[in-house]
Structure 1
């Protein structure tokens, strides 16, 4: 006898599973957890079972409609279970090929070679600006127009650099999708020139010798944390990037060899970098070591020695000394050194290598961290002596 709605509704759950049959292969399987619609049929001589869902989400009428559709498929030579499985597989493949899925897969693979900060920044750009608009679209179906529309929303907020960054990241994702067979074209190439150009900016820096002298004397007079004071003293001597300075570890520094060897993973160009330590830098480090030498970081944070100092510490100290961000920044020590050293005639190659600027040949960059090292050692010591001369007020100071 066919089932009725009251019979299905009133059927009791039981520890021992049992069936209520509706007819033509449809039945309700009941256990101690719930009620499940099932359909038994034969295909090519084999008995098969198809699941239709859970009652009451799937009503009796719904289950009968699904049974009737399945019976027609069987009558026409189709296998409902195989068709359902193929549909699920297609949906799974589609889910794995959305822009967001491909992007996260790409990010996971690439982030192993990035510093955590860059990895977090990259995924944040995508999550805030790209995924909400094209994340659920299969990457093969994303059009140049939809990508541009998403990126232009960033541009309209005035974040031009972020818009270009988002386009650059998207291009890398498309190229990864092409390599893995899920896209045919890098749409970022099609959209080249579609965004407002980034206005080139330079980190604020002081390059006038008299003003450099005033700055150095101001740094010497800093009355805050001794750790911060030490970082301020080293910043002009070493002119590394602020992130490289604050992440310095004692294990990387060899005071006897007078060098600081920074691992490739910490460097912007992903190549080992060697910083010769002048006598003045060694003096600062030896004075600091009794305070922080037992820990990992040369410049630990205020709240925990297990973490490096805040990325804003040096800039905040400069502000405290009266230097606005339009006058001087932590990054500005690099421009200061580069400008003066070039003016004094030091070899461009030695200066660029010491600044760890981009190496066109990445293989060469990996092995040439010691390139021009004798000249760089000489230059770094001469630079420190030049700065001492400025502080002492010697007008004829040269590097």
Structure 2
């Protein structure tokens, strides 16, 4: 996705339609690498031209422009054989009915291509987040906790490796699909996280990205119905997405979990998520996504915040810790530990996670919340301000600054940051 800053409405269109345009162009021409470059050029052109007027069919516009750029690239390649060049010229652009099939499985094929066995997970996941999720290099770098230049180099190397391995845009065999599933699940998980709590920008959420992650996960679950972790991930997304209507107030301000109007949650998504999770866990092969979904289910099924079963949540996080050493899991469990074992125990869990995560803004946010729960307004204020200074999301920064101001003025209130105990506050970020 283009890194350019543009009108928010146009930027949302580019984020939504760019990945789907890439799937169509790559499917039509059978060349992911060339299609990715061509679509990037089309996105840049759109960012420059659309302020004067958005086309009636933005996706078709992107597909047409990208296809022309791709054909031009092949025409200008001196080493191409004439027969190859003529073949590409004959396939100048997809027909209108092809452009309209953006809800087919092309996007899922693109996910599985980017999870090619020639790529390590550390390369496959960033490449897919860029190609399918439309995330910027800066956003992906933030998710991986690495500098932006490092991530840019990683994505470039991934594309070169995929090209050298002969990766083509075509559905993999069934056995290869199963092999690529773990990386694909991680990609979809991170895509949803970015949609549910944007790593940067003015808005707290990016609903289009969350919906796309859910759509692709549904498709993967339909193609792999016997995989409980796929169902677990879909359940996690649905149970978390169910709370989105209550997370932001009319002014666009973050509403913490403790203050959300649970009547605004979406019962149908909660019910579907619980059914999926229950069926998946009955199979006995319980993995990380099922356990995270179980945490989300405990929150969703509590009638009030005060009725939350924190002991159940703490137990689920202990089970998660046995499956993964990801420090975000330890950080996410800190509030549950504080609720069950006391504030000092929760702060100790936060410090253990901070030994790996360092000066991450969520470390400061969790510390701030725990200090406030413990009645230390001075330390809580300092930590809220530290967290605000380190987040790139403006809505989150405003919330953290407002909370610090409230504490500094002596107004008591249980802030209940949103929510360090589950995916709402970032989930389990990948290790670099």
For the aligned pair, the TM-score class normalised by the smaller chain equals under 0.3
Instruction: Compare the two structures and name the one with the higher helix fraction.
Output: 2
Q: Which of structures 1 and 2 has the larger relative contact order (alpha carbons within 8 angstroms, sep 6+)?
A: 2
Which one has the bigger strand percentage? 1
Question: TM (normalized to structure 1)?
Answer: 0.26
TM-score normalised per structure 2: 0.25
